[in-house]
């Protein structure tokens, strides 16, 4: 048979356009805005009262020690720095730190941990659905879909009232099939700030365990909400109640090392040997995607957590960031009764009940940059910008 030589294989020039990531586009738009009074409450980075994202003092010291003492940069392997993952165990897992059915490895940020965790699910059960409450972090669905798993959405949050649609969440989880995955935000829900209370966690995990779902907890802001211990309530409850648990953790925010990409993935199965097999798969997937995680940030976190005095100082610096977040929340909440719900929420984000058109107007007329969804970073602005921000939002909400 003759081959049809006229049919041309697609070339790179045939690629369709990509819709750019909305948050990254927002960062670029804000950067390009020459107006000096612009307010950037878009991306989720902590800023202090002066509007800066300083490197933690304890991190500077650890990095200096790293420069002075590091003897080699030879490869560490797909799991990165093993000691780094061990040092995170008591902080994240609490009383479960010694459980040998739980294993962890270093990843490039929380994003790498998420991808790896879903790759693991897709390896064992490609038919699993991932139950996702909406709104969620906009990068969750693309990461899940990249592993070919199905995303099944349910409504999580009532934007007008600033409350969780808890009954709908429970109903969605009750409809899950055994082996399906429940993606849960460990604390400081992104984008809403609406965290489950302890009784709600109890009910959620009870349903998850009864239905045989796998809880997959994304915890990227531990210590930014109520406190390091309190913020891990859901993680530890899931470990109490379920044989199989996946946790994607990030140090990017609580150690303020955003661009260094420092995270970890923890996996629990019903036995030590099954966990070892699962981690071998995880290592293989990591090898295929990034081979080995970047070292620098995790090495500095390792130095901090290994040294009692530095670790204590980290806890103090972390508490200062948390106090500022909660203080700004209270200031916004008390300025306008329509914003009172913001004082009952946690972490860097809340959503304003604004339409996309109103968000665009704030951007164009007031140089205030927030996500089109109305998500804003409560500590995105310096203290000197807060009054103007509140007044502009109040104006947009109408009198």
Residues lying near ligand LMR in the complex (CB under 6 A): 23, 43-44, 137, 139, 190
Structure tokens at 306: 């290994």
Structure tokens at 238: 């899931």
Beta carbons of 222 and 228 less than 8 angstroms apart? yes
- Count of C-beta atoms within a 10 Å radius of residue 333: 19
Question: What's the closest the beta carbon of residue 353 comes to ligand LMR, in angstroms?
Answer: 19
Beta carbons of 192 and 135 less than 8 angstroms apart? yes
Q: Which is nearer to ligand LMR, 111 or 335 (CB)?
A: 111
Q: Which is nearer to ligand LMR, 27 or 311 (CB)?
A: 27
231 is catalytic: no
The rounded distance, in Å, linking the Cα atoms of 253 and 224 is 8
In angstroms, the Cα distances linking 28 to 39, 256, 360 are: 14, 21, 15
253 is catalytic: yes
Q: Which is nearer to ligand LMR, 233 or 349 (CB)?
A: 349
Question: What's the closest the beta carbon of residue 124 comes to ligand LMR, in angstroms?
Answer: 27
Beta carbons of 248 and 263 less than 8 angstroms apart? yes
- Count of C-beta atoms within a 10 Å radius of residue 254: 27
- Among 152, 147, 157, residue whose Cα is nearest residue 132: 152
Question: What's the closest the beta carbon of residue 256 comes to ligand LMR, in angstroms?
Answer: 13
Q: Which is nearer to ligand LMR, 224 or 275 (CB)?
A: 224
Full DSSP string of 178-212: TT-EEEEE-SS-TTT--PPPHHHHHHHHHHHHHHT
Q: Which of 113, 128, 137, 333 is catalytic?
A: 137
220 is catalytic: yes
- Among 319, 339, 267, 265, residue whose Cα is nearest residue 113: 265
Question: What's the closest the beta carbon of residue 107 comes to ligand LMR, in angstroms?
Answer: 14
Q: Which of 220, 300, 335, 396 is catalytic?
A: 220
Q: Which is nearer to ligand LMR, 144 or 205 (CB)?
A: 144
Strands (E) in the chain, as ranges, are: 39-40, 102-108, 129-134, 150-155, 157-158, 163-164, 181-185, 214-219, 245-250, 262-268, 349-351, 368-369, 375-377
The rounded distance, in Å, linking the Cα atoms of 192 and 267 is 27
Q: Which of 81, 195, 218, 295 is catalytic?
A: 218
Q: Which is nearer to ligand LMR, 147 or 190 (CB)?
A: 190
Question: What's the closest the beta carbon of residue 190 comes to ligand LMR, in angstroms?
Answer: 5
Q: Which is nearer to ligand LMR, 47 or 101 (CB)?
A: 47
Question: What's the closest the beta carbon of residue 350 comes to ligand LMR, in angstroms?
Answer: 13
The rounded distance, in Å, linking the Cα atoms of 201 and 223 is 18
The rounded distance, in Å, linking the Cα atoms of 93 and 119 is 22
Question: What's the closest the beta carbon of residue 189 comes to ligand LMR, in angstroms?
Answer: 11
CB neighbour list of residue 345: distance below 8 Å, 6 or more residues apart: 162, 189, 192, 193, 194, 195, 329
Which residues are part of the catalytic machinery? Answer: 137, 218, 220, 253
């Amino acid at each position: 048979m003759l081959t049809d030589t006229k049919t041309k294989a697609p070339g790179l020039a045939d690629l369709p356009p990509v819709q750019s990531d909305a948050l990254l586009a927002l960062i670029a738009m804000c950067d390009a805005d020459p107006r000096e009074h612009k307010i950037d409450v878009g991306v989720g980075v902590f800023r202090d009262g002066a509007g800066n994202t300083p490197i933690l003092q304890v991190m500077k010291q650890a990095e200096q020690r790293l420069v002075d003492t590091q003897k080699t940069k030879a490869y560490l392997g797909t799991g990165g720095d093993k000691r780094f993952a061990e040092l995170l165990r008591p902080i994240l897992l609490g009383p479960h730190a010694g459980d040998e059915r739980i294993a962890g490895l270093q990843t490039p940020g929380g994003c790498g941990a998420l991808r790896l965790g879903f790759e693991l699910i897709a390896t064992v059960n490609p038919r699993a659905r991932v139950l996702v409450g909406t709104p969620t972090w906009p990068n969750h669905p693309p990461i899940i879909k990249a592993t070919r798993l199905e995303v099944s959405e349910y409504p999580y949050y009532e934007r007008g009232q600033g409350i969780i649609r808890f009954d709908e969440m429970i109903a969605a989880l009750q409809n899950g099939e055994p082996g399906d995955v429940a993606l849960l935000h460990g604390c400081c829900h992104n984008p809403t700030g609406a965290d489950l209370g302890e009784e709600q966690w109890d009910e959620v995990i009870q349903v998850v365990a009864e239905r045989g779902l796998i809880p997959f907890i994304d915890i990227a802001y531990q210590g930014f909400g109520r406190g390091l211990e309190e913020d891990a309530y859901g993680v530890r409850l899931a470990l109490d109640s379920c044989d199989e648990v996946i946790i994607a953790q990030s140090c990017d925010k609580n150690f303020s090392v955003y661009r260094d990409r420092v995270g970890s993935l923890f996996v629990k199965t019903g036995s030590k040997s099954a966990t070892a097999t699962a981690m071998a798969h995880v290592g293989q997937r990591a090898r295929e995607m990034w081979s080995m995680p970047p070292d620098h940030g995790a090495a500095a976190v390792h130095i901090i957590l290994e040294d009692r005095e530095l670790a204590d100082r980290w806890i103090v610096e972390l508490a200062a960031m948390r106090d500022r977040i909660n203080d700004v929340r209270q200031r916004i909440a008390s300025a306008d009764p329509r914003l009172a719900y913001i004082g009952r929420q946690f972490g860097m984000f809340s959503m304003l009940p604004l339409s996309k058109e109103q968000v665009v107007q704030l951007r164009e007329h007031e140089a205030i940059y927030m996500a089109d969804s109305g998500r804003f970073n409560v500590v995105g602005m310096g203290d000197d910008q807060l009054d103007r921000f509140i007044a502009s939002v109040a104006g947009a909400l109408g009198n």
